[in-house]
């Protein structure tokens, strides 16, 4: 029978554990059956129950416990951290769930709470990340932003004239992404570079995608001019909105980025969770929610395989659809809005290669529709050393949830070789492929409407529930998720 592990006070990360970083000294909680006695009910009475122990749940938990509240953090997985975990192989190799470096938020109180634990000799501190991109068969090592200079001369000249002449507002006043990108960047850049990139990445037509969807892939701006010319043109607000700096070294402000010198990003999650437990928070892992009680439009308890957990308030960081189903509220919704939102599956292809990469980039985005992969993170370039002399890389790709085609590690290595990232003779010394179900949004116009209807339905009918996290569907980046929570709870 599966058990729920409950963590409180003792919280000892074990970096050598198999499969996952976040394994701790445990107090095993055996599921109870039947009536709970009064003492048990008291011990499972919380001010706040948070569902989902990804970064959204952890940050909400930290903010609540520091206000002195009694908090339970509940997750169905065996370890906490969600996409911020680190996968550890039985041999002790570390792989993250994508490119997940830490970046300060620029709010002193929040940065202290979250990053004090990484401001030490065990972590690298970066002023900027060496990021690049691949497009039109070319690896650009200077910037992650699409570079128009790779176009044929006639196309390039036309594209730059159109870009300079475009007078559109970059963010507002459009019905679809295709309309927005054409108006802001001109037809040539849209047709030649931006449309193929967004359609590759979202598996959807740009005519169906909602405005600003391209921001999820850092496609807010393009490059097109020399270093000096770009600086001059960016002084014009209209061009500043659509033109990126010539290099990833410029325009970074004073924000610091962090990555551990050894191991993976999951160590950060371990630090945050130990703070949470030290302040009295309780963590329920491997804990399945089987139902919930609602009284006078308030969720009063969660029914779980660890018993009934009572709450004053509920923080929900997983799919709103699941809350609608558990409370039968989905029956109130029109048919289209009662469905799960459309999220793609993410593939994480963890590779160890016997040769050093040919690039010094920390990561690059691949916008070229010829290749399945979207991004590669090169750990030895970030950490400055290898684990046992081999070079680890995590490659991300996407597929539709219903697609049964498998992505193979050997095909992905061949793509990296073809893109000039590893030498021809490279061989795999280790690989592991993970598929994360429904993890990347496809923000079509219909998705946005459906998401809004679901969120409104919950807000109107459940008065003690707060919705946060990526799964809510209207925010995606980790720091946006964190800021949203911080601004609501402080």
Helix axes 108-115, 55-66, angle to 10 degrees: 110
Please say which residue, 107 or 150, places its beta carbon nearer to ligand FAD.
Answer: 107
Instruction: Provide, rounded to whole angstroms, the least separation between the CB of residue 231 and ligand FAD.
Output: 27
Instruction: Provide, rounded to whole angstroms, the least separation between the CB of residue 398 and ligand FAD.
Output: 7
Residues that bind ligand FAD (CB under 6 A): 51-57, 74-77, 82-84, 98-99, 289, 317-318, 322, 346, 396, 439-440, 469-471, 476-479, 481
Please say which residue, 94 or 362, places its beta carbon nearer to ligand FAD.
Answer: 362
Please say which residue, 98 or 307, places its beta carbon nearer to ligand FAD.
Answer: 98
In terms of C-beta density within 10 A (0-12 exposed, 13-18 middle, 19 or more buried), how is residue 422 classed? buried
d(Cα 112, Cα 159) in Å, to the nearest integer?
45
| Residue 439 and residue 83 in contact, taking contact as beta carbons nearer than 8 Å | yes
Quick one: DSSP state of residue 426?
Answer: -
Instruction: Provide, rounded to whole angstroms, the least separation between the CB of residue 470 and ligand FAD.
Output: 4
User: In which residue are the tokens 């309780």 written?
Assistant: 282
Instruction: Provide, rounded to whole angstroms, the least separation between the CB of residue 289 and ligand FAD.
Output: 5
User: In which residue are the tokens 């807000």 written?
Assistant: 459
Ranked by CB distance to ligand FAD, the top (closest) residue is 54
Q: What is the dihedral of CA 274, 280, 283, 284, to 10 degrees?
A: 160
d(Cα 460, Cα 452) in Å, to the nearest integer?
12
Please say which residue, 21 or 163, places its beta carbon nearer to ligand FAD.
Answer: 21
Instruction: Provide, rounded to whole angstroms, the least separation between the CB of residue 369 and ligand FAD.
Output: 18
Residues, the chain: 490
46 three-class SS = strand
Quick one: DSSP state of residue 272?
Answer: H
Please say which residue, 10 or 290, places its beta carbon nearer to ligand FAD.
Answer: 290
How far lies 399's CA from each of 102, 297, 313, 373, in Å? Answer: 26, 38, 36, 10
Instruction: Provide, rounded to whole angstroms, the least separation between the CB of residue 81 and ligand FAD.
Output: 6
Please say which residue, 421 or 475, places its beta carbon nearer to ligand FAD.
Answer: 475
Please say which residue, 234 or 375, places its beta carbon nearer to ligand FAD.
Answer: 375
Instruction: Provide, rounded to whole angstroms, the least separation between the CB of residue 98 and ligand FAD.
Output: 4
């Amino acid at each position: 029978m599966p058990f729920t592990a409950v963590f409180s006070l003792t919280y000892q990360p074990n970096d050598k554990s198999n499969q996952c970083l976040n394994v701790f000294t445990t107090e095993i909680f055996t599921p109870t059956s039947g009536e709970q006695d009064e003492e048990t009910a008291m011990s499972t009475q919380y001010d706040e129950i948070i569902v989902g122990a990804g970064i959204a749940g952890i940050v909400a938990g930290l903010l609540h416990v520091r206000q002195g509240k009694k908090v339970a953090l509940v997750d169905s997985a065996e370890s906490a951290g969600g996409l911020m975990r680190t996968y550890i192989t039985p041999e002790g190799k570390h792989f993250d769930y994508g490119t997940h470096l830490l970046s300060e938020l620029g709010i002193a109180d929040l940065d202290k709470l979250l990053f004090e634990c990484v401001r030490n000799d065990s972590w690298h501190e970066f002023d900027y990340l060496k990021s690049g991109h691949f497009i039109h068969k070319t690896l650009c090592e200077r910037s992650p932003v699409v570079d128009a200079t790779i176009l044929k001369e006639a196309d390039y000249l036309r594209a730059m004239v159109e870009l300079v002449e475009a007078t559109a507002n970059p963010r507002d006043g459009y019905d679809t992404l295709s309309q927005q990108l054409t108006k802001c960047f001109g037809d040539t850049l849209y047709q030649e570079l931006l449309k193929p990139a967004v359609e590759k990445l979202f598996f959807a037509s740009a005519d169906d995608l909602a405005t600003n969807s391209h921001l999820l892939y850092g496609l807010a701006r393009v490059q097109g001019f020399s270093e000096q010319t770009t600086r001059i043109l960016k002084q014009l607000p209209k061009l500043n909105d659509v033109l990126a700096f010539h290099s990833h070294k410029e325009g970074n402000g004073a924000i610091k980025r962090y990555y551990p010198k050894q191991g993976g990003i999951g160590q950060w999650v371990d630090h945050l969770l130990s703070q949470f437990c030290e302040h009295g928070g309780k963590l329920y892992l491997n804990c399945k929610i089987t139902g919930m009680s609602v009284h006078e439009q308030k969720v009063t308890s969660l029914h779980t395989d660890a018993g009934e957990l009572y709450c004053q308030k509920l923080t929900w960081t997983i799919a709103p659809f699941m809350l609608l189903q558990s409370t039968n509220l989905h029956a109130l919704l029109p048919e289209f809005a009662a469905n799960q939102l459309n999220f793609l599956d993410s593939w994480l292809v963890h590779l160890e290669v016997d040769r050093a990469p040919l690039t010094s980039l920390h990561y690059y985005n691949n916008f070229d529709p010829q290749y399945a992969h979207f991004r590669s993170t090169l750990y030895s370039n970030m950490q400055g050393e290898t684990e046992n002399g081999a070079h680890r890389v995590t490659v991300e790709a996407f597929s539709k949830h219903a697609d049964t085609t498998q992505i193979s590690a050997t095909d992905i290595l061949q793509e990296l070789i073809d893109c000039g990232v590893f030498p021809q003779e490279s061989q795999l010394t280790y690989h592991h492929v993970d598929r994360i179900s429904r993890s990347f949004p496809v923000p079509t116009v219909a998705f946005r409407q459906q998401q809004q209807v679901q969120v409104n339905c919950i807000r109107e009918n459940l008065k003690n529930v707060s919705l946060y996290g990526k799964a809510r569907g209207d925010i995606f980046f980790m720091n946006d998720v964190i800021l949203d929570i911080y601004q609501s709870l402080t």
